[in-house]
């Protein structure tokens, strides 16, 4: 699978952990990609390799972007799948992968990711995902997950990360985790659950919740204060938007009550739960945010989250 990689450097790492995030279907609210971009920036991770996108995407579905880079000069930006590395203290090294769920040749794509992981002597893999759900924007964000390795699974349980048996349409996460299982590589996933009525992207509050769990899991010294402040600001902003709408406030209270008494395990086995159908989404909530966005545009203000 190495032929699909473009490798610029060969970092010397000490049994690193590979953290992977994929834009696209398994990235509701840009929870996974937003979390990864924050990690890349805060850790100042260095790019060293990428996957050639040519055989993995239908470019009529995932279109490249054209950007003006100078007078009469344009640059095409293809779907990117990039590997970065970070060397930490106490033998804590990371490979950080930010890609896009492919349209085609999933087995080859997964094999390519794991070929580089094997070359870098990765000792475990964690996949990040985001899903929409019937959860409130208030309180502690719901983070769920699963792990194939018993000790890894025990560590997640120690962080109050619960799992469930999901069956249904699958994402690249399941293909990746299954390939890890076949290779004997410890692996697991973390999923952040974003409120289905809030289309903020990235949903920084859910990103913050997931990064806190990840930091505790790996004992990762990453500064989350910036993300924590943005998460608090987002919640306050949504609260202000709901202040004059008693029906929406009541709906959020119902979600809060449901969250408190819910006994069903929220986490997918490497998968997000089935995204709610449009009929399941409260129409009043959608209409409220559409009207608020239109009003702010007309007044020249920034759009709401």
Give the burial string for 52-68 (b: 16+ CB within 10 Å, else e).
ebeebbeeeebeeeeee
pLDDT tens, position by position, 197-225: 887 789 999 999 999 999 999 999 999 99
Query: Which two structure tokens, joined as six digits, stand for 128?
Result: 């990040």
Alpha-carbon span 210 to 141, nearest angstrom: 8
pLDDT of residue 298: 64
CA distance 54 to 98: 17
3-state SS string for 291-303 = HHHHHHHHHCCCC
Higher pLDDT: 7 or 299? It is: 7
**What pLDDT digit, counting tens, does each position of 39-62 carry?**
999 999 999 999 999 999 999 999
Q: What is the predicted pLDDT for the residue at 282?
A: 42
- Residue range 99-116: mean pLDDT, rounded: 97
Is residue 154 within 8 A of residue 160, CB to CB? The reply is no
pLDDT digits (tens, 9 = 90+) for 257-292: 887 766 444 444 445 444 343 334 444 455 555 555
Q: CA 99, CA 102: separation in Å to the nearest integer?
A: 9
Run of H or E including 183 = helix 172-183
pTM greater than 0.75: yes
As a whole number, the mean pLDDT across the chain is 85
The yes-or-no verdict on residue 6 having pLDDT over 70 is yes
pLDDT at 39: 97
pLDDT, tens digit (0-9, with 9 covering 90-100), for 150-179? 888 888 888 988 775 667 788 999 999 999
The residue with greater pLDDT, 284 or 102, is 102
* Structure token pair of residue 90: 């106490």
Question: In the numeric block, which tokens belong to residue 4?
Answer: 């699909």
CA distance 225 to 19: 21
What is the Cα–Cα distance from 35 to 190, expressed in whole angstroms? 11
At 89, the pLDDT band (50, 70, 90 cuts) reads: confident
CA angle 282–139–288, rounded 5-degree value:
30
Q: How far apart are CA 136 and CA 256, in angstroms?
A: 6
- What's the rounded Cα separation, in Å, for the pair 97 and 81? 7
Tokens 């943005």 correspond to what residue? 230
Nearest to 35 by CA among 161, 178, 212, 167: 212
Q: Give the Cα separation of 192 and 184 in Å (integer).
A: 26
What pairing do the DSSP bridges indicate for beta strands 17-23 and 93-100? parallel
Mean pLDDT of 1-28: 93
Do β-strands 93-100 and 82-87 pair in parallel, antiparallel, or remain unpaired? Answer: antiparallel
CA R_g for the chain: 20
């Amino acid at each position: 699978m190495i032929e699909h990689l473009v490798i610029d450097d060969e970092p010397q790492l000490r049994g690193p952990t590979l953290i992977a995030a994929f834009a696209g279907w398994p990235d509701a609210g840009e929870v996974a990609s937003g979390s990864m971009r924050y990690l890349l920036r805060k850790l100042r991770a260095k790019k060293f390799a990428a996957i050639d996108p040519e055989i993995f995407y239908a470019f009529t579905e995932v279109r490249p972007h054209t950007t003006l880079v100078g007078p009469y000069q344009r640059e095409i930006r293809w779907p990117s799948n990039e590997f970065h590395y970070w060397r930490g203290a106490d033998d804590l090294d990371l490979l950080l992968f930010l890609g896009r769920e492919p349209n085609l040749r999933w087995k080859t794509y997964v094999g390519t990711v794991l070929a580089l992981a094997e070359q870098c002597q990765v000792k475990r893999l964690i996949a990040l995902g985001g899903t929409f759900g019937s959860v409130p924007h208030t309180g502690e964000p719901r983070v769920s997950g699963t792990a194939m390795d018993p000790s890894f699974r025990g560590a997640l349980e120690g962080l109050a990360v619960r799992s469930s048996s999901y069956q249904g349409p699958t994402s690249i996460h399941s293909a990746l985790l299954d390939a890890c299982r076949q290779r004997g590589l410890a692996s697991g996933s973390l999923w952040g659950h974003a409120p289905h009525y809030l289309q903020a992207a990235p949903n920084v509050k859910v990103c913050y919740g997931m990064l806190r769990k990840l930091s505790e899991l790996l004992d990762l010294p990453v500064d989350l204060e910036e993300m924590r402040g943005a998460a608090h600001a987002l919640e306050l902003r949504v609260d202000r938007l709901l202040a004059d709408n008693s029906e929406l406030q009541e709906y959020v209270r119902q979600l809060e009550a449901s969250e408190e008494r819910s006994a069903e395990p929220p986490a997918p086995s490497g998968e997000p739960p089935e995204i709610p159908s449009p009929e399941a989404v409260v129409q009043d909530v959608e209409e409220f945010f559409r009207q608020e966005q239109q009003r702010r545009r007309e007044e020249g203000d920034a759009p709401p989250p």
